[in-house]
Amino acid sequence: MKKKLMKFFIKIKKYNYKKYIHENILFLTTVISLLINATLVRFFTVGNYFEIKPLLADLAITIFLCSFAYLFRPKKRINYYMTLSVFLTFICLANSVYYTFYTSFISVSLILTSLQISEVGDAVVENVLQLKDFVLLIQPFIVLFVYRNLKRSQYFGKEKLGYGRKIMIPNLIFAFFLFLLFFSTLTGVELSRLNNQWNREFLIMKVGVYTYQINDIVKSLEPRIHAFFGYEEVAREVADYYKNNQLEHKTNKYTNIFKGKNIITIHAESIQTFAMDLEFNDEEVTPNLNKLAREGLHFTNFYSQVGVGTSSDSEFTLNTSLMPSSIGTVFVSYWDREYITIPKLLKEQDYYSFSMHGNNGTFWNRLAMHKQLGYNRYYHKADFVIDEKIGLGLSDKSFFRQAVPKIKNIADKYKNFYGTMIMLTNHTPFSEVEAYGEFPVDMKIEVTNEEDITELVSVPYMEGTKLGNYLKATHYADEALGQFIQDLDNEGLLENTVIIIYGDHDARLPKKDYIKLYNYDPYNDEVIDKDDEMYVPVDYYTYELNRKVPFIIWTKDKKIKKEVDLVMGMYDILPTLGNMFGFHSPYQLGTDIFSVKENVVVFPNGNWLTNKLYYNNQKEEYLLLEDTVITQEYIDKYIEHADNVLTISNYIIMYDYIRRQKETEMLMQEYKE
């Protein structure tokens, strides 16, 4: 009897299974193809595509969303499926493209930021869109193809396909069950990171693309909601952090060394430190930058800490010693907040602050944000004669040439000034090679011909590569920089002025170009074999550590020559300059580099770096950089520190903490009076 019953249930199960598939072909096609797209995104980006957790999450969401198609009659469902397919395919494509350029994932709060893409369209087309991205676009066509075949076979007329809640609800229940199963597998760490949202690579690996995107929508709305309901708790956490992490102010030989001097800060677009070490045919890529580095304070282990806001994140972090926001970008999403900044702190010492850039004033919302940072004036494209255009705007050489008289006029009017000069020509896509001037990135080798005569022959080497074009652009930028310093000197503007140069971020160059740069065989015009003992591997850690950018402090008298190899980040600039010029921000998250024996650089994705190791927060592993013993206590200490820095910085930005604290203090003062 038991055997008969078992056979009966097996038959029913088999029959229902086949019947379900037959009656839900379009539904299943849409679900499976969308699931494949989400899996491909993980494969194209973080490489994690066989884990069960993200598959469960993505499957639950696709089933849930596709289930609402049953509210429509069978023939009308295609409109819903196609709309859903196009929307979710766009989500997958946007994340794949965004990761290629930013090594991060798209956020709903970055929709405003996407307006910037119209001004860098060439960069997106030439450097971001890849063949893999077009694979994702196949999904809607698969759904349409299946629908047309079903329609041609009169599937919707012959079959008695039901619709309505009776069919929709079981699918929703199944989706809900899958989601509960998924959540039951999440660890405490994974739930915490889902709540924090800033570690996007980790989230995509563990919860999938669609869950991440839904969570992002919730987190994007959260600051607006919590600004009214959750501020008190945030205020306590921020206050406790600064109370428990007060660094003792230590005087050193650099304390107040530049007090009362003018400052010209040069924002060196996309210049990386590795370019300073390169020569082609005995000619340095950056001779002027190298000269300034030798004659001044050169920080050889300096890293940018940008998020998706790239250049704007650098400007923000440098001027505030806060981290970029984890949701959106400060310049676009949080420009109306109150910040303690270098221009504002110097204003207390009667400095006049200005910034200059050869691009549109609205780009990255700089017109509004630079005013909020405390600059008295922002000179932009409208303030210059566009007599030579390269890339996104005015060429660096023309920009600097026209800027010098403006700076001279400011120097004549004001006792002291703080100026930020934002370079532009060395901006991706590095495609206007002819405009950069003559700087071959080939290699000259001696070759003996058949007549036994040795001659010098040129081989391509880096010519025609993205990295090669970048080095040509960098050489041009270096020439412009050298001429700017000379012109300032000619006008007598260097006598009481400190020049500060920083790279805003890396150029996001292809890994394959680095492999060619370090492993080129000129005699065969190819990359040497990986098994060759001379082969230099370029893995994840090599690439990450190679992203460091220049940071140089230089004066004409050359009295501060020193090379500093302690790791340093953009958020350390305000405290370091503060020690030199006599100002301090109570909200700084970085440190005066001359007051610590060990420093840590925290990156927006949760990774961190000391001179001893580079820690990958996504993979929870590290690369040892020194021959030393690392304890778990050491690692846990900096993991906690990185988490605190990112959390506190986000709280200050999103909840407008500084303004609200000032308002509270004013009310308290009025109450006392």
Q: What is the CATH number of the domain that holds 296?
A: 3.40.720.10
Residues 33 and 174 in one domain: yes
Residues 341 and 193 in one domain: no
Indicate the range of 157-161, 231-235, 450-454, 614-618 predicted with least confidence.
157-161
Q: Which residue among 219, 242, 271 closes a domain?
A: 219
pLDDT at residue 94 in the model: 86
538, part of any domain: yes
Residues 168 and 304 in one domain: no
639, part of any domain: no
Indicate the range of 44-53, 505-514, 587-596 predicted with least confidence.
44-53
How does strand 601-602 pair with strand 351-357? Answer: unpaired
| Number of helices followed by number of strands (H, E) in the chain | 25, 22
Residues 290 and 193 in one domain: no
660, part of any domain: no
Residues 317 and 176 in one domain: no
Residues 284 and 411 in one domain: yes
Residues 80 and 13 in one domain: yes
210, part of any domain: yes
pLDDT at residue 8 in the model: 40
Asked if the model's pLDDT at residue 140 lies above 90, the reply is: yes
Report the C-alpha gap between 259 and 106 in whole angstroms: 43
Number of domains in the chain: 2
Residues 173 and 266 in one domain: no
319, part of any domain: yes
Report the C-alpha gap between 14 and 20 in whole angstroms: 10
pLDDT category at 643 given cuts 50, 70, 90 is: very high
Cβ distance 359 to 393 under 8 Å? yes
Q: Which pTM does this prediction carry?
A: 0.84
Interval 522-535 mean pLDDT: 94
- 241 Rama sector, left if φ>0, alpha if ψ -120 to 50, beta otherwise: alpha
Residues 332 and 189 in one domain: no
Among 109, 64, 62, which residue's Cα sits nearest to residue 89? Answer: 62
- Structure-block tokens of residue 670: 């009025």
Question: For residues 399, 400, 402 and 403, what is the CA-based torsion angle, rounded to 10 degrees?
Answer: 110
243, part of any domain: no
Indicate the range of 210-219, 375-384, 460-469, 524-533 predicted with least confidence.
210-219
The residue range of the domain holding 204 is 2-219
pLDDT at residue 343 in the model: 98
Q: Which residue among 534, 563, 591 closes a domain?
A: 591
Residues 537 and 433 in one domain: yes
Residues 160 and 42 in one domain: yes
Asked if the model's pLDDT at residue 341 lies above 70, the reply is: yes
Report the C-alpha gap between 301 and 563 in whole angstroms: 10
Q: How many CA atoms lie within 13 A of 632 on its CB side?
A: 0
Maximum average pLDDT range among 18-27, 129-138, 164-173, 459-468: 459-468
318, part of any domain: yes
Residues 174 and 288 in one domain: no
**Residue 323 to residues 440, 467, 603, 643: CA-CA distances in angstroms?**
39, 29, 8, 12
- Residue 376: count other Cβ atoms within 10 Å of its Cβ: 17
306, part of any domain: yes
Q: Which residue among 219, 249, 275 closes a domain?
A: 219
Report the C-alpha gap between 364 and 621 in whole angstroms: 35
Among 328, 265, 339, 668, which residue's Cα sits nearest to residue 503? Answer: 265
Asked if the model's pLDDT at residue 16 lies above 80, the reply is: no
